[in-house]
Chains A and B, each alone.
Chain A
């Protein structure tokens, strides 16, 4: 498979999830492991152009896929606009949900560069944050939309 632009050859454990492979097999711990049932979104990655929960992908079924994790969202040292907006708007508290939100939001802005407030909320409806009450995250992302 191809992860963050690099060809990766991995051997995977029986019925192991892509999330476990990323974190434990490939040294990419940015995708977080919380619920392991697709409820929290903290393990969100882009797989063949779709934002999905990596905990629900069987690693062995990701063969040949093109994957972007949170580690691959920035362009080298240049942060993605979503990352900059989250930092400047204080859209981060404990940080655990942040990688999943960054990936989901980056995916949103790539397919819809001028989302409405409701579209941002809906795009993040699969990402749970237990600290912020979401307001600071939504404000940060809304600041990216030209008025």
Chain B
């Protein structure tokens, strides 16, 4: 096995140009599990933790920003999501770029990014390109990243609503992979966004529920009930070892409604 430990972005992109299919290593919280269990034997590693440019958190979110930093970061619902990731040890190592690169349906940071229609910036030695998150994540653990590229940063829109909430349903508080999670945002003009995770192959926006509730300036009890029903109808969960399709469907509506109520209160 070879390893490159570039000290800056230029060196990282050069290393990646030399070995375009190298395995990228950031916090290691996903990759090393696969390595430890013998599921992967990387031949060439490019270790990114020394690349300070990727760890910038200033208007954009560098791919190397850890959950520990996002916990105290400027985005409320992302901080709430960060606090539910693994344990303090995992949050000190794991990064938002890793969450995107792994593209698990249960990636804790993804509903926040989907709710805001975040843009992912990819870099290679020869170019930079930007993809909306729903084009970047293409399936379960599948992304549009190409050989020779790395995830540089996440770009958020200029307008970010103050009223935003994240919630996660799981078996316990710490060290839990979610059964269902959701992020709800409400703009001052009523526009509402609902993104859910662990209920489809990729982060899912409940568009009909969004449209319905966005038209209500002061949602009534009946509106909230209809919102909950639409969310439950729109999600596409499966039954697996963590939960059942029917429970996930039910919990999606309950959770999204609860988060919306918090946004409205």
Residues of A within 8 A of B (CB): 14-15, 17, 36-39, 41, 44, 50-53, 55-58, 60-61, 63, 104, 122-123, 125-128
Question: Is A15 a contact partner of B49 (Cβ separation < 8 A)?
Answer: no
Question: Is A126 a contact partner of B90 (Cβ separation < 8 A)?
Answer: yes
Which residues of chain B come closer than 8 Å to A63, judged between CB atoms? 5
Question: Is B87 a contact partner of A58 (Cβ separation < 8 A)?
Answer: no
Question: Is B175 a contact partner of A125 (Cβ separation < 8 A)?
Answer: yes
CA distance A60 to B174 in the complex (A): 29
B262 CB-CB contact with A under 8 Å? no
CA distance A13 to B28 in the complex (A): 17
Which residues of chain A come closer than 8 Å to B89, judged between CB atoms? 38, 41, 44, 51-53, 104, 126
Give the distance to chain A from B36, nearest Cβ to Cβ, in Å: 4
Q: What are 16 contact pairs spanning A and B, CB under 8 A?
A: A14-B41, A15-B1, A15-B35, A15-B42, A17-B32, A37-B33, A38-B29, A38-B86, A38-B87, A38-B89, A51-B92, A52-B92, A56-B32, A56-B93, A58-B35, A104-B89
CA distance A38 to B88 in the complex (A): 11
Who on chain B is nearest to A60 by CB? B3
Which residues of chain B come closer than 8 Å to A122, judged between CB atoms? 88, 174
Question: What 3 pairs between A and B have smallest CB-CB spacing?
Answer: A126-B87, A14-B1, A125-B174
Question: Which of B29, B35, B36 counts the most A-chain CB atoms under 10 A from its CB?
Answer: B36
B173 CB-CB contact with A under 8 Å? yes
Who on chain B is nearest to A46 by CB? B92
| With contact pairs A56-B28, A61-B28, A123-B88 given, residues A38 and B45 touching in the complex (Cβ less than 8 Å) | no
Which residues of chain B come closer than 8 Å to A51, judged between CB atoms? 88-89, 92
| With contact pairs A61-B3, A125-B173, A125-B174 given, residues A37 and B93 touching in the complex (Cβ less than 8 Å) | no
Give the distance to chain A from B49, nearest Cβ to Cβ, in Å: 7
Question: Is A41 a contact partner of B87 (Cβ separation < 8 A)?
Answer: yes
| With contact pairs A39-B175, A58-B47 given, residues A53 and B42 touching in the complex (Cβ less than 8 Å) | no
Residues of B within 8 A of A (CB): 1, 3, 5, 25, 27-29, 31-33, 35-37, 41-42, 45, 47, 49, 68, 86-90, 92-93, 173-175
Which residues of chain A come closer than 8 Å to B175, judged between CB atoms? 39, 125-126, 128
CA distance A15 to B68 in the complex (A): 25
CA distance A41 to B174 in the complex (A): 12
Who on chain A is nearest to B36 by CB? A36
Which of B37, B41, B45, B92 meets A37, CB within 8 Å?
B37
Which of A14, A50, A60 meets B93, CB within 8 Å?
A50
Question: Which of A41, A55, A56, A57 counts the most B-chain CB atoms under 10 A from its CB?
Answer: A56
CA distance A122 to B86 in the complex (A): 11
Who on chain A is nearest to B92 by CB? A50
| With contact pairs A38-B33, A56-B93, A58-B32 given, residues A125 and B47 touching in the complex (Cβ less than 8 Å) | no
Question: Is A58 a contact partner of B28 (Cβ separation < 8 A)?
Answer: yes
Who on chain A is nearest to B83 by CB? A122
Question: Is B25 a contact partner of A58 (Cβ separation < 8 A)?
Answer: yes
Question: Is A52 a contact partner of B42 (Cβ separation < 8 A)?
Answer: no
Which residues of chain B come closer than 8 Å to A39, judged between CB atoms? 175
Which of A58, A104, A123 meets B45, CB within 8 Å?
A58
Question: Is B37 a contact partner of A56 (Cβ separation < 8 A)?
Answer: no
Question: Is A36 a contact partner of B33 (Cβ separation < 8 A)?
Answer: yes
Question: Is B37 a contact partner of A36 (Cβ separation < 8 A)?
Answer: yes
| With contact pairs A58-B25, A58-B45, A61-B5 given, residues A37 and B88 touching in the complex (Cβ less than 8 Å) | no
Question: Is B29 a contact partner of A56 (Cβ separation < 8 A)?
Answer: yes
Question: Is B92 a contact partner of A17 (Cβ separation < 8 A)?
Answer: no
Question: Is B174 a contact partner of A126 (Cβ separation < 8 A)?
Answer: yes
CA distance A38 to B49 in the complex (A): 18
Which of A14, A56, A123, A126 meets B27, CB within 8 Å?
A56
| With contact pairs A50-B93, A52-B93 given, residues A15 and B28 touching in the complex (Cβ less than 8 Å) | no
